Structure 1
Amino acid sequence: MSAVEKQNRPVRDGERQRREEGYADEASLAAMRLSGRSHAEAGEYRRTPWYTKLTILMLVVIIAAAVLYAYREPLMARLNPPPPPVVVTKPPAVTVTSAVTGAITEHAVVTGNLVAREEIMVSPQIEGYAVDKIMVEEGDRVSEGQVLAELSTTTIDTSLAQNEAQTARAEAAIAQAESAIAEAKANQDQTASAYARSKALVRTGNTTAEQLDQREAAAKMADARAASAEHALTVAKADKKLADAQRSELMVRLEHTKVRAPAAGVISRRAARIGAIASASGDPLFRIIRDGDIELEADVPEATLARMRPGMTAEVTTAGRKEPFTARVRLVSPEVNSVTRLGRVRIAIDQAPGLTIGAFGRASVAVASHTGVLVPQSAVLYTEDGATVQIVHDGVVATTPVKLGLRTEKQAEVVEGVKAGDTVIATAGTFVRDGDKVSAVAVGTAQPGTESK
């Protein structure tokens, strides 16, 4: 036996032993050896009946089937996943409202200052007299003829005393003249009677011509005295009339020392001061708002001025007052300033107690009123081509050109393009276009009313 054969002999011996013991390979034999089983036990394992093995196999199959049945739904769900959900795209939601038929009033807002409708300047009718008393203050309501102040009457009182003396003298002169007239007339009658008798005696020759001449001269002197007495009476009466006229003048001056209100109203300013010398050429002693009537004087653009007419109703709001005053346009100036392009309007306020002239005021004047189809102002979209409104019909947007009438802050009158009952987008914009599908969300209808422009 060669050396190679000796080396390979253990290998052949091992293969022969595996075949004799029934092991398929070297690994099985090694496993059996490691498990510590004997060749006898291994033999018994190899000799297990086939039906036992079949039973074990069936049990394993049954258990596996039970497990699969218990978890069939999760397994089926994993093997057959559900189809992905179908995503339905909803159109965008838009807020819509309905166009309605109603009245709309357009207002023009003007601002200005409160002024007296008619301010009366009260100045003294006589000058050179000091102010002695003041009876009223600013803000007082006075009646026509009420005494506002009194001037000093010292000088006038002295003149009245002198006038009384002159009057008494004139009355005495009249009485004296009347007595002289009575005496002169009696003497005139006597001399006239003596002259007549002398003329008759001359014809019969019972008296001389010289005596006749004396009787004639005496009669003429009596006539002259009577005439002189008449003239003296005339002069005395003239003096009396002069004294009476002077007294009347003094009484008028005395009355003028009482400064009276020429008309009823409210004292807006008092410049009178105690001791000051009254003068008609200076500042007026008082200023009176006739009847307390106050107006709003405002300068408005010429375009707005052209739409205003006297008698238009208005509401005036002043600083510090929440409730507006009822007013009306009283005067629209026919002139527009060529530089500022503004015209003046006067708005009379009805019953405005507590208002002060010079205060700021804001008026809303109703310049036009119509009845038509109304939509919210926010529903109107203004473009270069004109105004448009977006109407929703069957969920589709239709951009419609419109012709507008009156407009306010919240509403617009549509003359053409929209009918009453049409559903319009409440807030027009560029996020939806003509032909887009939308989901309409109603918020109500446009309510008729009046707003300021």
Structure 2
Amino acid sequence: MKRSIQLVALLLTVFMGSCTGGKDKAAAEHVDAKPIVKLADVKARPVDQIQDYTATVEAEVKNNIAPSSPVRIDQIFVEVGDRVSKGQKLVQMDAANLKQTKLQLDNQEIEFNRIDELYKVGGASKSEWDASKMQLDVKKTAYKNLLENTSLQSPINGVVTARNYDNGDMYSGGEPVLVVEQITPVKLLINVSETYFTKVKKGTPVDVKLDVYGDEVFTGTINLIYPTIDATTRTFQVEIRLDNKDQRVRPGMFARATLNFGTAENVVVPDLAIVKQAGSGDRYVFVYKDGKVSYNKVELGRRMGTEYELKSGVPDNSQVVVAGQSRLVNGMEVEVEASSQPSSK
């Protein structure tokens, strides 16, 4: 009986050892197995260099209508939304100071005329004549300035877009009494990468879409190119003008402008090939060559449906991994899926 028990124990030991050995062998084979990947052939082709920019529509000219010093408002002649013409009277301020200054000016003119007559016959010196003339000029300037700040006129053809006071209010020097904006034409200001500085030309047509009008395209032109580059953002400003003759486009609307900088020969890859590195905004592509993959950092260009233009990072006529990237590391040997075997070159 004792020998039977020992025999059974021996058989169990041999059996367990064979099982463990089988598992170790399977694990070793599993470690040695190469990751299977799917490849896509990619090459360079002409790509339209189209860039989209966002901006807020601005008035061509914006004027704040206000006097130069605090004074009571006598009457405001317009409301928000009213169209006004250049030179049109918009606001009448209290005229008490103006009337007083006019009386002083009239008296000074009388005094100057008296000194002038005396000077002509030798009854007054040149210095007296000069002093009287200077006083008269000062009064004229003061009266002209006060006249302009008592009767406020529109300097442009435009629309009243803000009214901050009512009749009888005391203008305090803060917000303007009125705001008048010229909305024919309007403009957009966009920031363009310095890469395109030599390619942006004045007068170039630009397609503009406004969110409020959906996919409707408005045509603008490049009206102004700022001559300096912002050292912080490495961009320069470009002003786009829209004629806006029907005045459908209004200041404050959100706009998207599309600029076409011609074409360039760049590699185009499927979007499945792009890998985003965790914790950063960098993008990478696994490039297959001679049985191994390299982890190449790329610079993305345009997205075109299910493809991306690459500015750099992948050579022309390459093969890139489009499936199976999760297990890959730089320099790893891989096995290519049968349906995407590298073509013989």
TM-score, normalization by structure 1: 0.41
The answer on 1:274 being equivalent to 2:216 is no
Which residue of structure 2 lines up, in the alignment, with residue 155 of structure 1? Answer: 97
Q: CA deviation at 1:290?
A: 5.0
Partners of 1:380 and 1:241 in 2: CA distance: 82
CA 349–138 in structure 1, closer or farther in 2 if over 3 Å, else same: farther
Choose the corresponding residue for 2:261, options 359, 367, 371: 367
Q: CA deviation at 1:288?
A: 4.1
The answer on 1:109 being equivalent to 2:52 is yes
Aligned partner letter, 2:196: R
Q: Which has the higher strand share?
A: 2
Deviation digits for residues 180-225 of structure 1 (CA, Å, limit 9, x no counterpart): x9xxxxxxxxxxxxxxxxxxxxxxxxxxxxxxxxxxxxxxxxxxxx
Which residue of structure 1 lines up, in the alignment, with residue 230 of structure 2? Answer: 335
Aligned partner letter, 2:287: D
Aligned partner letter, 1:315: D
Q: CA deviation at 1:360?
A: 2.1
Partners of 2:272 and 2:70 in 1: CA distance: 72
Partners of 2:302 and 2:248 in 1: CA distance: 34
Which residue of structure 1 lines up, in the alignment, with residue 209 of structure 2? Answer: 317
Partners of 2:237 and 2:174 in 1: CA distance: 31
Which residue of structure 1 lines up, in the alignment, with residue 195 of structure 2? Answer: 306
Which residue of structure 1 lines up, in the alignment, with residue 11 of structure 2? Answer: none
Deviation digits for residues 147-204 of structure 1 (CA, Å, limit 9, x no counterpart): 33221213322443455466557767988x79xx9xxxxxxxxxxxxxxxxxxxxxxx
Question: What SS does structure 2 have at the residue aligned with 1:283?
Answer: coil
The structure that has the greater radius of gyration is: 1
Structure 1: state its 5+ residue gaps: 1-100, 182-225, 388-404, 418-427, 437-453
Deviation digits for residues 298-325 of structure 1 (CA, Å, limit 9, x no counterpart): 457xxx5523543354322112113122
Q: CA deviation at 1:407?
A: 5.7
CA 347–155 in structure 1, closer or farther in 2 if over 3 Å, else same: closer
The answer on 1:262 being equivalent to 2:176 is no
Q: CA deviation at 1:350?
A: 1.7
Partners of 1:234 and 1:273 in 2: CA distance: 49
- Alignment check: 8 A CA contact 1:105 1:406 kept: no
Question: What SS does structure 1 have at the residue aligned with 2:139?
Answer: helix
Partners of 1:237 and 1:299 in 2: CA distance: 56
Partners of 2:342 and 2:104 in 1: CA distance: 106
1:41-80 equivalent positions in 2, closer than 5 A: none
**Number of residues of Structure 1 aligned to a counterpart in Structure 2:** 251
CA 165–367 in structure 1, closer or farther in 2 if over 3 Å, else same: closer
CA 158–325 in structure 1, closer or farther in 2 if over 3 Å, else same: same
CA 409–328 in structure 1, closer or farther in 2 if over 3 Å, else same: farther
Partners of 2:241 and 2:126 in 1: CA distance: 65
1:127-142 equivalent positions in 2, closer than 5 A: 127-142=69-84
- Alignment check: 8 A CA contact 2:183 2:251 kept: no
Which residue of structure 2 lines up, in the alignment, with residue 253 of structure 1? Answer: 146
- Alignment check: 8 A CA contact 1:143 1:261 kept: yes
Task: Name the % identity.
Answer: 18
Deviation digits for residues 52-72 of structure 1 (CA, Å, limit 9, x no counterpart): xxxxxxxxxxxxxxxxxxxxx
The answer on 1:354 being equivalent to 2:256 is no
Q: Select between 305-314 and 251-260 the one with higher mean Cα deviation.
A: 305-314
Partners of 1:310 and 1:248 in 2: CA distance: 47
Partners of 1:172 and 1:354 in 2: CA distance: 62
Question: What SS does structure 1 have at the residue aligned with 2:240?
Answer: strand
Question: What SS does structure 1 have at the residue aligned with 2:170?
Answer: coil
Q: CA deviation at 1:124?
A: 1.7
Partners of 1:241 and 1:334 in 2: CA distance: 49
CA 366–121 in structure 1, closer or farther in 2 if over 3 Å, else same: same
Q: Which has the higher helix share?
A: 1
Q: CA deviation at 1:121?
A: 3.8
Aligned partner letter, 1:257: T
